[in-house]
Amino acid sequence: MKPEQKLELARRARVMRALGQESRLCIVHSLREGERNVTELTDEVGSDISTVSRHLSVLQGAGIVYARRKGRMVYYGLRAPCVLRFFECVDRVLEESSSACGLEGRAVT
């Protein structure tokens, strides 16, 4: 594999790791409606401010969210809203895998 291909795969893996945590998925899901500040996201995620801030830092580092300062508040939004289409793809995979296994209508654990 060429070095540039390895680099591209590493960059993709970084995005996937950023999305690979339930609280960060909740943050992305919350941002689908528009910008939110840390306090609003803390309420929605159900974690403390420092934890949500750390998750936001990971998502920012992966290029998924952006931060915008307005006065003393910082608002976060989706830099890459196309990630929501990825969620649709994941849902389709879950539906297909559950129907292929005869698990329609049952929770998959």
- Identify whether 70 is part of a domain: yes
pTM as predicted:
0.80
pLDDT tens for each residue of the chain, 109 residues long = 899 999 999 998 999 999 999 999 999 999 999 999 999 999 999 999 999 999 999 999 999 999 999 999 999 999 998 999 888 888 888 898 887 766 555 554 4
Domain encompassing residue 68: 3-80
CATH (domain of 21) = 1.10.10.10
Tell whether 8 is covered by a domain.
yes
Residue 85 within a domain: no
- Whether residue 102 is contained in a domain is answered as no
Is 92 contained in some domain? no
| Residue 58 forms part of a structural domain | yes
Give the pLDDT score at 6.
94
Give pLDDT, residue 78. Answer: 97
> SS3 for 101?
coil
Q: Is residue 44 part of a domain?
A: yes
Residue 86 maps to a domain: no
Number of folded domains that form the chain: 1
State the Cα angle at 45 between 68 and 49, rounded to 5°.
60
* DSSP bridge partners of 66: 77
**According to the model, what pLDDT value does residue 102 have?**
64
Give the strands of the sheet with 73-78, arranged side by side.
Answer: 36-37, 73-78, 65-70
The whole-number pLDDT of residue 106 equals 56
Query: Within 10 Å of residue 108's Cβ, how many Cβ atoms?
Result: 9
